[in-house]
Structure 1
Amino acid sequence: MQHEKDKQQLSCAGCGVSIQTEKKELPGFVPESALQKEPLICQRCFRIKHYNEASSVALDQDDFLRLLSGIGNTQSLVVHIVDIFDFEGSMISGLQRFVGNNPVLLVVNKVDLLPKSINMNRIRNWVQRQAKEEGLRTVEVVLCSAKRNIGFERVIEEIEKHRDGRDVYVVGATNVGKSTLINRLIHDYSDLEQELTTSRYPGTTLDAVRIPLDDGKAIIDTPGIVYSSRMTEIVPRSFLGTLLPDKPIKPLVYQLNEGQTLFFGSIARFDFVEGERQSFTLYVANGMNIHRTKLERADELYAEHKGELLGGPTLEELEEIPGWTRHTIRIKRGSFSDIYISGLGWIQVNRDSGALVDVYAPKGIKVLQRDSMI
């Protein structure tokens, strides 16, 4: 009986979920024979760590929100990590109302994916404007790349500056590089030898993980929030490697006449419906297959060649993805705009000419016009 009680109190060192030995398909499963291992990690984290495989274990969205809403009652610094490549898709909507009066440090990860010639001050100013529009009050914005170790000293400095001896809550959507950043914080802040699960797959951290700091306070790593409005959440895992950039994006410039269409693999489509001949600059993963055709042929081409010539997920996999919704966007002459498709990237529109465009993306995916980032 005592053994059972001890087992119930154990939690996974990788994702923080409670350990159980009964059901393989549920979170926290560990075979009885592995209970004595140090550090103790659940079978799911073991598979991610050693084989880069994640079994699908989901947590209810309400649980995420319940966990977030408790932060307002604490005295802490909130570190919100977002992905520069999917900025609007990875912002936690309405975060301000959850955090109460606690200060928010906005850490913008994956800046190593931006083209190398980019002016980082311009990006930082752009982020500040966008965050303000979202209603988020930040004490500071820090650009970094946890993976490439760029700007990380600045993250540590800003946490130290604004923490003021309090706990640190780290929040973010799935796939923003949160666990990589947490691992760096553990390394810099704590003697604790604990490696969190890091993976390309969404939803790796299943419960809040409390990492003790040397001063008696803690870093609290919260689960990644799953937003189905991001392309990364709805495509098959086999396609994530193509969708997510892993090196700096090389912008692709297309000179289009009205009545021309661009396909992004088989997962999105961009129609230049009306306007003068002009250039459109694509910021997407370098491995994404782009196909140009005439608008009048686009429907036929898609019907005949989706999942094959057009690239992207297979025909069978495409059946699992929601059907397309059309978004009609009119860009005013002289405006400096991006057309952003969450999880896929964005299309920068020539500022001198107006344009009428249609964007087709799976139903529910966030598509919007914004001030140009670059």
Structure 2
Amino acid sequence: MTEEQLHCIGCGAAIQSEDQAQPGYTPQAAIKKGLESGQLYCQRCFRLRHYNEVTDVNITDKDFLRLLDNIGNTDSLIVNVVDIFDFNGSLIPGLQRFVGDNPIILVGNKEDLLPKSLKRSKLQDWMRQEANKQGLYPEAVILTSAKKGFAIERLLRLIDKYRQGRDVQVVGVTNVGKSTLINRIIKQRIGIQNLITTSRFPGTTLDRIEIPFGDGKNMIDTPGIIHKGQMAHYLTGKALKLATPQKEIKPKVYQLNGEQTLFLGALARFDFISGPKGVTVYVDNNLMIHRTKMANADNFYTKHAGELLQPPNQEDMAAFPPLKRFEFTVSEKTDIVFAGLGWITVKPGAKVAAWAPENVDVVVRRAMI
């Protein structure tokens, strides 16, 4: 086997030892050790797995999309993984043109982060409706937790039911837990743990990774599609840790008066303009929430973003996009959703404004709880 035929088992990149800035770079000595051990990882994956250190590589959004372009020409079952804490932010724009006529299973991952009071059946119905609006008509919708192992066997049964001897293409935008989910499946089926490189950082999988089913067909982990509407693309590792929920979210209730503001770190802003008192905030339990008067909010943000208001910290604020304002008046109990961050539930008759980084989605939906 030549060096050009070798691939990293963590991210799928072709192994090479010439250019450190390109995907798959691995020193010759490490290639030899990897072949001897049967665990060949590129240098980027090795550092990420052992030191949580991310090395940038020269791979563009177009490169990711090119790698997915041929899915519609295959005869495959498509498993589309989305983050149910960031459903709208993790839908793949234009997925239907990638999928073609192939059947789809829609997997809502990170179920363990949602409050127990949220009705799962209601969420699944909503997911199906939102998918239909995007032109996607999944054969099945299922909620899972790759991290906790919840409903993995149920997902495998669905895959067996609908793949009918075909390959399975696992697709999703970055940071939805796609590779973690595949690692869980591999562990439960063949007992190998943490084969594929995973992290909070977008773009960990760089090329397709094939896992044999044993019948001549494969489960294929495709690269995560870059979605600029995701909050994760504007945050460094430390900020991601503070903004991305790791445990079940504990709701926080605020009895806001009119013309009051909540800052969600420096990542987002919520203005309660008028309406019935009482809003409920669903974000990471460790994310700092600061309350102030709306009249002073602009100056407060300018003065304190990156210091009192974190994340991001002051150093990272220089590259953080300005906040864009969206105003809503609601007629029913409604969730104001900040893509990748969480949501705030308001009562009927509330007039509010939500601020998020440019390109990050703010959407409204009927309250889930």
Could you tell me which residue of structure 2 aligns to residue 343 of structure 1? 340
Q: Which residue of 1 aligns with 2:303?
A: 304
8 Å CA contact retained: 1:17, 1:207 = yes
The amino acid across from 1:10 in the alignment is: L
Matched, 1:33 2:29: yes
Which residue type is aligned with residue 198 of structure 2? T
Aligned equivalents of 1:243, 1:95: Cα separation in 2 = 27
The answer to whether residue 361 in structure 2 is matched with residue 366 in structure 1 is yes
Q: State the percentage of identical aligned residues.
A: 49
Q: Distance in 2 between matches of 1:58 and 1:78?
A: 28
Displacement of 1:202 in angstroms is 1.2
* CA deviation after TM superposition for structure 1 residue 277, in Å: 3.5
Following TM superposition, by how much is the alpha carbon of 1:69 offset from its aligned partner in structure 2, in angstroms? 2.6
Match of 2:45 in 1: 45
- Give the distance between the partners of 1:268 and 1:145, measured in 2 at CA: 27
Query: CA shift at 1:210, angstroms?
Result: 1.4
Secondary structure class of the residue paired with 1:317: helix
Q: Which residue of 1 aligns with 2:19?
A: 23
**Amino acid in structure 2 at the alignment position of 1:318:** M
The 2-side partners of 1:117 and 1:215 are apart by 42
CA contact (8 A) 2:180 2:198 kept: yes
**Residues 143-178 of structure 1: CA distance to partner in whole angstroms, max 9, x if unpaired?**
110100111111111001101010000001111111
Per the TM alignment, residue 219 of structure 1 is displaced from its structure 2 partner at its CA by 0.7
Q: Residue 128 of structure 2 aligns to which amino acid in structure 1?
A: Q
Counterpart AA for 2:282: Y
**TM-score, normalising length from structure 2?**
0.95
2:210 and 2:221 in contact (8 A); partners too: yes
Residue 313 of structure 1 corresponds to which residue in structure 2? 312
Comparing 286-295 with 91-100, which one deviates more in the overlay? Answer: 91-100
State the TM-score, normalizing by the size of structure 1. 0.93
Shift of 1:296: 0.9
Instruction: Give the structure 2 partner of residue 9 of structure 1.
Output: 5
In the TM superposition, what are the counterparts of 1:150-299 in structure 2 within 5 Å?
Answer: 150-189=150-189, 195-273=195-273, 275-299=274-298
Shift of 1:58: 5.0
Structure 1 residue 184, shift from structure 2 partner: 2.1
Query: CA separation in 2, counterparts of 1:79 and 1:338?
Result: 27
Q: Alpha-carbon deviations, 1:269-307, whole Å to 9, x = none? A: 11112x223211111111110011111111222222222
Give the SS at the match of 1:256.
coil
Residue pair 1:189, 1:214 contacting (<8 A) in 2 also: no
CA distance in 2, matches of 1:303, 1:130: 36
Could you list the runs of 5+ residues in structure 2 that have no partner in the other structure?
none
Q: What's the CA shift for 1:192?
A: 7.6
Tell me how far apart the structure 2 counterparts of residues 193 and 286 of structure 1 sit (CA, whole Å): 29
| SS of structure 2 residue aligned to 1:292 | strand
The alignment of Structure 1 onto Structure 2 pairs a total of residues equal to: 365
SS at match of 2:291: strand
Q: Assess if the C-alpha contact under 8 Å between 2:210 and 2:219 holds in 1.
A: yes
Matched AA of 1:346: W
User: Does residue 149 of structure 1 match 2:144?
Assistant: no
- Give the secondary structure class of the aligned counterpart of 2:137: coil
RMSD: 1.6
Given that 2:266 and 2:309 are in contact with CA atoms closer than 8 Å, whether structure 1 keeps it comes out as: yes
Offset of residue 185 of structure 1: 2.3
Q: C-alpha separation between the residues in 1 aligned to 2:185 and 2:207?
A: 18
Which one-letter code corresponds to 2:8 in the other structure?
C
For residues 83-102 of structure 1, the aligned pairs below 5 Å read: 83-102=83-102
* 8 A contact 1:245–1:286 mirrored in 2: yes
Whole-angstrom CA distance in 1 between matches of 2:309 and 2:30: 46
Quote how far apart the aligned CAs of 1:228 are.
1.6
Give the counterpart letter for 1:166 in structure 2.
R
Letter in 2 for 1:226: I
